[in-house]
A and B are shown apart, each in its own frame.
Chain A
Amino acid sequence: MILAALAAPLLVATLALGVRQNRTRPRALLVGAVLHALAVAAMLGRRPEPVLDGALALDAAGAVVLSTSSLLFLACAVYAQGYLRRRAERDNRLFVGGLLVLLSALTAVSLAQHLGVLWVAVELTTLATAPLIYFNRNAGSLEAAWKYLLLCSLGIALALLGTFFLALAGTGPGGPRSLLLADLAGAGRALKAPWVRGGFVFLLVGYGTKMGLAPLHAWKPDAYGEAPGLLGALLAGAVGASAFLTLARVQQVMHAAGEERFAGQALTALGLISLAVAAVYVAAQRDLKRMLAWSSVEHMGILALGLGLGGTAVAAAWLHVAGSGLTKGVLFLSAGNIHRAYGSKLTDQVRGAARRLPVSGPLFLLAFLSASGSPPFAPFLSEFAILAAAVAQGRPVVAALYLASLAAIFLGMGRTVMRVVLGDPAGAPERPFPDSALTAAPPLVLMALVTGLGLWVPGGVADLLRAAAALVTG
Chain B
Amino acid sequence: MLRALLQPLALLLAAPLLPGLVNRVKAAVAGRRGPPVWQLYADLWKLLHKGAVYSGTTSWIFRAGPMASLASAATAALLLPVGAFPAPISFAGDFLLFAGLLALGRFLTALAAMDTGSSFEGMGAAREVTFGSAAEPALLLGLAVLARATGSTSLQGMLGPGLSGAWAGAAPSLILAAVALGLLSLAENARIPVDDPSTHLELTMIHEVMVLDHSGPDLAFVQAGAALKLLLFGALLAQLVLAARPAGDLLGLVAFAGGLLAFVLLVGLVESAMARLRLQRVPQLLVGAAVLSLFALVLVLR
Direct contact of A and B (CB under 8 A): no
